């Protein structure tokens, strides 16, 4: 398909939808894993250690929980972006650069299926 065309074919859109649904399933599984890790209370079993070590462990556990929260937040954002891409597929506007109005290359969409910018537009923005 040429880059001057207004949109991708229904067959192309179905292929992208399948790719995105697969990525979304993996992302949801990873998010559930992160949420499970966050739900665990004191996985190191430091309840009976001395006060000095417990303070260090508490600091380490706090840092680890903060990192898990950040990862979970990024994962939620990624899932939201995938959902937005699925919405664009349903509207048949998927793969159209929001900056140039041209079709985004298939290779780029396969690598970054939630993108809304062509490489041309991305490089201009940088």
Is residue 106 classed exposed, middle or buried when 0-12, 13-18 and 19+ CB atoms within 10 A define those classes? Answer: middle
Is pLDDT of 3 > 70?
no
CA–CA dist 44, 60 (Å, integer): 11
Instruction: Place 1 in a pLDDT band, splitting at 50, 70 and 90.
Output: very low
CA–CA dist 120, 126 (Å, integer): 10
The structural domains of the chain, ordered by start, are: 10-125 (1.20.120.910)
Q: How far from each other are the two terminal CA atoms of the chain, in whole angstroms?
A: 27
Q: How many other CB atoms sit within 10 Å of the CB of residue 105?
A: 15
For 39-77, write each residue's pLDDT tens digit: 875 455 544 445 555 566 677 778 888 999 999 999 999
For 33-48, write each residue's pLDDT tens digit: 999 988 875 455 544 4
Contact 20, 114 (CB under 8 A): yes
């Amino acid at each position: 398909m040429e880059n001057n065309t207004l949109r991708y074919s229904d067959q192309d859109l179905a292929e992208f939808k399948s790719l995105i649904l697969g990525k979304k399933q993996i992302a949801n599984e990873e998010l559930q894993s992160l949420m499970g890790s966050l739900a665990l209370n004191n996985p190191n079993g430091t309840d009976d250690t001395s006060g000095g070590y417990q303070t260090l462990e508490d600091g380490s556990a706090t840092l680890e929980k903060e990192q898990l929260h950040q990862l979970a937040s990024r994962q939620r954002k990624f899932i939201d972006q995938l959902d937005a891409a699925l919405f664009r597929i349903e509207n048949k506007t998927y793969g159209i650069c929001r900056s140039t109005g041209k079709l985004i290359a298939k290779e780029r969409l396969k690598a970054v299926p939630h993108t809304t910018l062509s490489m041309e537009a991305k490089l201009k923005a940088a």
